[in-house]
Amino acid sequence: MNWARQSAYIYDGSFDGFLSCVFESYDRKEEAVDIRPSEDNLYVLFDAVWVETDPVKAARVYKGIGVKICPAAQELIRNGFLTCMSDKELLLYRFLRLGFQYGRTVMDMLTEDTVHRLHKAVKHLRTESHAYMGFVRFAVYGDVLVAVIEPKNQVLPLLAPHFCDRYRGESFLIYDKTHRQVLMQRQDGPPADRVGLFCMEELILPEPDDEEKSYRRLWKQFYDTVAVRERSNPRARLSHMPKRYWTQLTEMQQSDLSSGPFPKRLR
């Protein structure tokens, strides 16, 4: 489908906002040459059109993906939106145009550049989220377990089912320092409101108490004690636990554990 008009879109950064841009493109018969969240509008090279988020239009597009392509494409688009690709919106838009043209077969067109890049990005997202299932380290603050992570992708939506099931009887908070998001579970309030994903520009934590400091020292001592020096393989460790994860790992702290992996103020 070739449309004569081209346009760039700016939206609010939400998933529904992106789907609203897709709707507007087809409704106006315009080819989107760029789609950016509002905070990135300085980088748009074309005169951009602001697209208001419309949940009804977004729902129509999302339903159309399942009907005209396949339900697996819906999941691929949702996950693709969580990736760290700088041009993810345009890539997802191009994938959808291919999907609406070719239907289910687009999922197997792995030699096509757009499809290949999208699958590769989603694989990176899933690999990173799986790694964080083992690399999240909680600290106790009052009655709440608190953890801080610095992922490249927006992994919290993928981590939520795992940690909510594993800690179903606990109140916990996982702060994504990179994307300024927090996954929170609490034990009070209506069941529907006990788990949520929120934006949080800054997380300020109190100093850990003596008991928490003691547990951190014990965990570090355990980690160092069980290591078999003769079987040490730094290269293998880096392949399984890259250094970018070390910042928030208690056992990888090299000095004063009184502050542990959680600085008092996170910006």
Q: What is the pLDDT of residues 140-153, one digit of tens each?
A: 998 899 999 999 99
**pLDDT of amino acid 264:** 44
**DSSP letter assigned to residue 243:** G
* pLDDT > 60? residue 44: no
pLDDT at 131 over 90: yes
Tell me the pLDDT tens digit for each residue of 206-261: 888 888 888 788 888 887 787 777 777 777 767 777 888 878 888 877 655 444 44
User: pLDDT for 45-61, tens place per residue?
Assistant: 567 899 999 999 999 99
Tell me how many helices (H) and strands (E) the chain has. 8, 10
Q: Which residue has the higher pLDDT, 265 or 56?
A: 56
Label residue 159 by pLDDT band (50, 70, 90): very high
How far is 117 from 98, CA to CA, in rounded Å?
Answer: 14
Burial 169-184, CB ≥16 within 10 A → b, else e: ebbbbbbbbebebbbb
Per residue in 67-116, pLDDT tens? 999 999 999 999 999 999 989 999 999 999 999 999 999 999 999 999 99
Reply yes or no on whether the pLDDT at 41 is more than 60.
no
At residue 248, the pLDDT reads 82
Residue 172 has pLDDT above 80, yes or no: yes
Tell me the C-alpha to C-alpha distance, in Å, between residue 206 and each of 217, 220, 232, 240: 18, 21, 36, 32
At residue 53, the pLDDT reads 97
pLDDT tens string 178-195: 999 999 999 887 777 889
pLDDT of residue 16: 98
Q: Does the pLDDT value for residue 169 go beyond 60? A: yes
Give the relative orientation of helices 15-28 and 55-64 as an angle to the nearest 10 degrees: 80
Alpha-carbon distance of 4 to 171, in angstroms, equals 54
> What is the model's pLDDT at position 267?
43
- Give the DSSP letter string of 64-110: HIIIII-HHHHHHHHHHHTS--TTHHHHHHHHHHHHHHHGGGGGG-T
Q: Taking Cα atoms as reference points, which of 122, 121, 123, 119 lies closest to residue 111?
A: 119
Structure tokens, 203: 């997380």
